[in-house]
Amino acid sequence: MHEASGGGAGGRTSGSGAWSKAALGVVVAVAVLAVLVVAVAYAAVAYEQRSRDNDAEGAAMRSAATAFEAVAACTALATSELPDGAVGDDARAAARACAEGEVGRGTTSVLGTEVDGAVARLTMLTAASTETGGGADWFAGHGSAGGCWTMTIDASTRTMTDLADVPCGDVAVDAIGAVDETGLMALQGEHSGTPATVAPGVSGELTSLLVTTGDRVWMGDIVAEVDGRPIIAYSGPAPFDDAEAWDDDPRIPHSWTATHAKQALLTALGYDTGGVDGVHGWATDQAVKRYNADHGIAGDELDERYLVWIGDVDRSEERETDGPVVTAVLAAPGDALDGDALVALGRAE
């Protein structure tokens, strides 16, 4: 009897040990599951926060680009209206007036000026910060962008002769924050419907430059001549070589294909394409051939090297109020061009 009783106790001890191991396994499994749940939740929160921050940074970049080109365009228009006998101090005052205040969510500050007779050189800081979400939304995105730039104005010729990005150094820490500075001209090119500069694809001697600071450019304008051949401005959602940006089916109502744009360009230049319908038919083909023959350009297609994109200009807008503004003149007749920019452009708000 005693032996049987001892054997039962041993059985209970063995069973208790097995239960303890099983319970420990369950506890470990639950703990691992809890850690995984927390890790997944944390990763989801971190992903959502990064997404919101990226959205906010993109918005800040767009705001900084808008502010930069608006101040440059405002200054260009003011420069073109300087009175006879104006000096560098007048140009500096005009630029300061354009930089004051807030453009969208971007601000521009004058960091320094140099005046030498009729010439004024100003160093600017343009920055923007954006917050998205917050309030009832659990997530708030934070973004900032900006940079420093210079402009040089010759009051005697009413011309902005230089527009360029420059390093900010320590002055941008408070305004831009911890993000890397991005060149504002590059930002404009990426986040604006207007290119920062225009450059023909053809190499040769700049025979003449037919636009200057403060001029508004429109589709069909001859902006320059290279080796005596005209460089023509055109507008659209992107340069012609970015085919994916253009509609591809003229049969779709309100579509705007590259063929539409080329027909509109030729029509503006006085060459009958038989209508702007997006169909490259016989009339369009003849218009291209006549245009090329008149300007000594070889081939049976429009040579895009002699065309420059001026941005996505709404065809319903008015030239005198909505056309892109020539901000700076970056080339001069006699220059040898090989991908060099002719002028800088901007849009005034």
Question: pLDDT (tens digit, 9 = 90+) per residue, 194-213?
Answer: 899 999 999 999 999 999 99
Measure CA of the first residue to CA of the last residue in the chain; give whole Å: 103
Closest to 153 measured CA to CA, from 165, 142, 162, 166 = 162
Higher-confidence residue: 158 or 169? 158
Instruction: Give residue 152's region: left, alpha or beta (phi > 0; psi -120 to 50).
Output: beta
pLDDT band for 181, please (50, 70, 90 cuts). Answer: low
Q: How confident is the model at residue 179 (pLDDT cuts 50, 70, 90)?
A: very low
Q: Phi and psi (nearest 5°) for 71? A: -65, -40
pLDDT reported for residue 191: 79
Main-chain dihedrals φ then ψ at residue 50, nearest 5 degrees: -60, -40
What is the per-residue DSSP string for 262-324?
Answer: HHHHHHHTT---S-SSS---HHHHHHHHHHHHHTT--SSS--GGGEEE-----TTS-HHHHSP
Answering whether pTM is above 0.85, one says: no
Rounded CA-CA distance 310/326 in Å is: 10
Residues composing the chain: 349
pLDDT of residue 142: 76
pLDDT digits (tens, 9 = 90+) for 77-93: 999 999 999 999 999 99
